[in-house]
Chains A and B, each alone.
Chain A
Amino acid sequence: MRSPQSPVLSISGLIKDVGPLTSLDGKMLRVVSGISLVAERGQVTALLGANGAGKTTTLECAQGLQKRTGGSISLLGHDPAAAGAGLRSRVGVMLQDGGLPPSARPIPLLRHIAGLYARPWPVDELIERLGIDTFGRTTVRRLSGGQKQRLALAAALIGRPEVLFLDEPSAGLDPQSRQLVFDLISELRDAGMGIILTTHLMDDAQRLADYVYIIDGGRNVAEGTVRELLQRDPSVEAGAEHVRTLVFEAPPGLDPAAVLPAHIDVTEARAGSYCITGTLTPAHLAALAAWWEAHNIMPASMSLQARSLEDVFLDISGKDIR
């Protein structure tokens, strides 16, 4: 747990049951069973987990959109379940489904929302920054997924919040929009905003998050900085070197295992795609290169990777599809 100096959000032992009205079998279903987390100012805190892990429910309890069954939540020092306009004006929310009326046009909609705040972010600046001017008069229902996401982000930011909640912010974003949105999030973080986001994409968490909570089955299962989580590697704890994975593409049917020691794992995942995993050393790479030279093999592609957050996540939460 991080040292809580002045956390923007602090959740302790959150429990959420959904009632018989919404679950299929008429029983109460516990969708969050004891999640705790702390989010600081000037940091991006990520809730990472598979679909249905309880991320969105946790966020909605923190936003005051859902009533919690148990546990405590402090958002900027207040209980969000009893939030007034003053607290809501300091918190920006981007919902997973956007929450924007399909018949609305982006620019008039943003001007309307800006009017609800005493000191909104100048609408024109935000429009320009998020590239909304190119579709500012198109109805929301005709926007692409990425355009809708950028508009929803603008709507969440227009009140110049101190805390920003982003539920799956990169869903539907093309690479350019993603870069734009990620740059803005980093900038806001550097300016001191406390940002809490959910994602099921490891890459998002790896690129953006200062601190990650891995959520599975309605519980925290791991937490730490991205670096700390990556170092949970069992081979590190055993004092061995880092595990690396080398993937290369070459003609099918070769046997690179012939030049590597037995403790290095070699598989041909599909015809012509070789995956070599283990505590690789420079000597192993040299042996492999010499073998390529001797057989006149020029790989079509190759990549060397350290352990990714995805590996950590799969180790922790299991590989079952749920």
Chain B
Amino acid sequence: MKPTQSGAATGAAEASDRQEAATLLRRVLLQGKYEALTMLRNGEQLILAVVLPLLALVGLTVTPFLDGMGASRIDVAVPGILALCAMSTAFTGQGIATGFDRRYGVLRFLSTTPLGRGGLIAGKALSVLAVLCLQVAVVSAVAFALGWQPPVAGWVPGLALLALGAAAFTALGLLVAGTVRPEATLAITNLLWILLGALGGIVIPAERLPAAAQGLVGFLPSGALGEALRDAFLAGAVNGGAALILLLWTLVAGAAAIRWFKWN
């Protein structure tokens, strides 16, 4: 094979007339697909993304934790589990993957390709959405089998707020991954997943938490997302306050990530 035949190197005149990069949309879609498949092929990620949320769902339906909340156990549990899925994928899974990509120079290499830094971040956000869609499908299927009966009017606000929550957690995950060492990212995102999962108002509503925690959790992204999804999927209602808190977390964490993210 001769590189000239492949057109490996070209004259300047010819090159300037050609569109050498794939379109932005195609680049972002390809990167999103590649990252999503990488996430789904990773056993630990699958446990975090699917197995643990399903275990929590079953656990909450066979124990009396959520009794006396005016709705069946499963109806109270499912919105929180969906919120937990967003935290798993967008914050912990995506944060750890990005942290190690940074360590191994993958972020630097990809930012020299036509993908660039912006395309890379967009691709990561897209992969989070893709995996989250799969999680919603699996969790919903199991939940329906366990007798989940959400109001039809709850789906649109519920899914929209879930996407907003995923955006907030993606920004937070990128902020952690871009500022500390990958081992620290691993520790921080896993620890916060457990702490926020148990005590952050995400699967267990704030009123069932210790009194000291109740006032605080509504301002956490976990508590805001949990409350917003419960309002949507229990009553078909839009919780504007929680949505505003999620939006603020997205903007603040996003701005901080843009400011402090280190690519190498």
Contact = CB atoms under 8 A, between A and B. Distances in A.
Q: 10 tightest CB-CB pairs across the interface, nearest first? A: A99-B109, A99-B105, A89-B20, A193-B9, A89-B21, A93-B112, A85-B114, A85-B21, A192-B9, A89-B114
Contacts of A118: 18-22
Interface string A110-126: 00110111110110010
A91 B114 CA distance: 9
B15 A113 contact: no
B113 A193 contact: no
A95 B114 CA distance: 16
A102 interface: yes
A90 interface: yes
Contacts, number: 131
Interface of A: 6, 41, 63-65, 76, 84-86, 88-91, 93, 95, 97-104, 112-113, 115-119, 121-122, 125, 128-129, 155, 157, 159-162, 187-188, 191-193
Interface of B: 1-4, 6-12, 15, 18-22, 24, 26-27, 30-31, 34, 38, 41-42, 100-101, 104-106, 108-116, 119, 263-264
7 contacts: A88-B21, A91-B112, A115-B30, A116-B31, A117-B22, A119-B7, A121-B6
A100 B12 contact: no
Contacts of A65: 108, 111-112, 263-264
B31 to A, nearest CB: 8
A65 B105 CA distance: 11
Contacts of B15: 90, 162
A101 B103 CA distance: 10
B107 to A, nearest CB: 8
Contacts of A98: 104-105, 109
Given A85-B114, A162-B10, A193-B8, A90 B2 contact: no
Contacts of B1: 125, 128-129
Contact of A116 (B3, B6, B41, B114): B114
Nearest to B38: A103
Contacts of A113: 113
A64 B30 CA distance: 23
A99 B108 contact: yes
A188 B12 contact: no
B106 A85 contact: no
Contact of B21 (A86, A93, A97, A112): A86
Contacts of B27: 85, 115-116
A119 B22 CA distance: 8
A264 B216 CA distance: 85
Contacts of A157: 8
